[in-house]
Structure formats: structure tokens, C-alpha cells
């Protein structure tokens, strides 16, 4: 397991299965050797119980090769595809294709950037198992989040 991740898990007491690392394709490198080494590190993380998701899936040049070589636990679909729903028929086709691929590999498929009920319904219909975006809430400081969730006051 990665020493940084290992130290963080040890320091916090968090069980590895409760942690998900999100990586973008571009963060894995550009050269085949760099990508292969990064995939090896991610596989070791997965073996230790840490979940790995490919973030902004569909924007990189090697999406399908990467998915074939490293079937991640999750695929986070780039928000640009979601925001163009339902108008852009190409985005609809891409969304359906990505969710089918995700299901084939047993990955959770997350629709990022959901802003409207219509986008949410289309993502659900296409097979996304999770969604995130402004429709559900805006970023907020921790005290406000705790108060919002009913865990105390935002003092």
C-alpha cells in the first residue's frame, strides 16, 4: 500500500474499505511506463481494501484502455456530459455507453455535476448508481454542513 495512504489510515483509524481514492486519467502519466506503474500502485491500494474511482471519466485519451487494464471500483462521469443533458443527443449516447461499461466491470457509476431534476432522472434512467451536484447541495463550511444534516448548530 502507498506509504502516505497507509500513514493517513493509521493516524485516523479509518478502515481501508471506507476510503475511496479518486484519480483522473491525466494524473496517471502520459507515457505507457508511467501509466503502468501508476496502475500497479492503484492495484496495491485496491488489494489493501481501498476503493479507487476514475474521476472525470470520458475526458482522457486512454479511457477505454485504462478501463480494460484497470477496472476501477467507480467511474465518475465528467459533469460536462451531464450538464448538456437532455439537449445534446451525443451526450445521452455517451452517458448510456459509459454506464453500460461500468456495469460490465462491476463499477459504481456516478453522474457528476447534476443541476436539474431532468438531468438526475436521465442519469438514473441511463444506469448511474449515484449522482452529485448542485441539485443536492452546494459546497459549505463544515459547521454549516453539520447543522444542515441535523447534527448541531452552526456556531
Which residues are marked as active site? 112
Taking the chain, what is the end-to-end CA distance rounded to the nearest angstrom? 39
> CA 67, CA 71: separation in Å to the nearest integer?
5
Per-residue burial over 36-75, b = 16 or more CB atoms within 10 Å of its CB, e = otherwise: eebbeebeebbeeebbbbbbbbbebeebeebbeebbbbbb
- Which residues, listed in sequence order, are joined to residue 94 by a DSSP beta bridge? none
> CA 114, CA 92: separation in Å to the nearest integer?
14
Amino acid at each position: 500500500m502507498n506509504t502516505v495512504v497507509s500513514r493517513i489510515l493509521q493516524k485516523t483509524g479509518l478502515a481501508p474499505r471506507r476510503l475511496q481514492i479518486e484519480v483522473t486519467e491525466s494524473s496517471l502519466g502520459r507515457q505507457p511506463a508511467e501509466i503502468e506503474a501508476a496502475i500497479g500502485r492503484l492495484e496495491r491500494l485496491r488489494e489493501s481494501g481501498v476503493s479507487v474511482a476514475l474521476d472525470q471519466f470520458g475526458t482522457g485519451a486512454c479511457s477505454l484502455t485504462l478501463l480494460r487494464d484497470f477496472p476501477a471500483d467507480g467511474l465518475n462521469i465528467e459533469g460536462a456530459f451531464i450538464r448538456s443533458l437532455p439537449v445534446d443527443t451525443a451526450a445521452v449516447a455517451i452517458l448510456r455507453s459509459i454506464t453500460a461499461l461500468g456495469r460490465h466491470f462491476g463499477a459504481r457509476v456516478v453522474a457528476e455535476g447534476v443541476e436539474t431534476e431532468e438531468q438526475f432522472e436521465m442519469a438514473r434512467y441511463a444506469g448511474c448508481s449515484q449522482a452529485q451536484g448542485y441539485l443536492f447541495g452546494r459546497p459549505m463550511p463544515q459547521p454549516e454542513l453539520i447543522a444542515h444534516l441535523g447534527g448541531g448548530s452552526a456556531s
